[in-house]
Amino acid sequence: MKNNVMITIMNVLPEKQKEMLQTLLSLTQPSAKEKGCLRYGIYRDIEDENVFNLISEWETRQNLDHYMKSDSFSVLLGTKSLLCEPLKVQIFTVSNSEGFEAVDSVRKKDADFPHRNA
């Protein structure tokens, strides 16, 4: 199964941070309840407090497309007056994902062959 991940990057005017955060928080619950939404999170850049990232994961591209036509996404698009630069959107189609078992596997291989780390 291929999941779709959308990353929306917002560089907010410093004096509009609070307004943007309130807007984003108001969108979280309705957006997370959209059909096919697996994850929906708001993150602030650790190096630049004016940059917010909205990351959502969707079961299908159709679910993501439906979200992009939703009222919630329209509100997000309407925040352009709060931004220093236009909204950036990236969409990724993920055909394979791994969890911590991949980390364990790699670390076990390194433990079996310690000379690799030298």
pLDDT digits (tens, 9 = 90+) for 66-109: 999 999 999 999 999 999 999 999 999 988 877 888 888 888 87
Q: What is the pLDDT of residues 36-49, one digit of tens each?
A: 999 999 999 999 99
pTM of the shown model: 0.82
Q: State what percent of residues in the chain have pLDDT above 70.
A: 92
* Contact criterion met (CB below 8 Å) for 90 and 4: no
User: In this predicted structure, what is the pLDDT of residue 116?
Assistant: 55
What CA–CA distance (Å, rounded) separates 78 from 74? 6
CATH: 3.40.50.720, 3.30.70.100, 1.10.520.20, 3.30.310.50. Which one for 3-117? 3.30.70.100
Question: Of 77, 100, 106, whose CA–CA distance to 89 is shortest?
Answer: 77
CA distance linking residue 5 with residue 74, whole number of Å: 18
Q: What is the pLDDT of residue 45?
A: 95
Among residues 112, 113, 6, 2, the alpha carbon closest in space to that of 57 is found at 6
Across the chain, mean pLDDT equals 90
pLDDT above 90 as % of the chain:
75
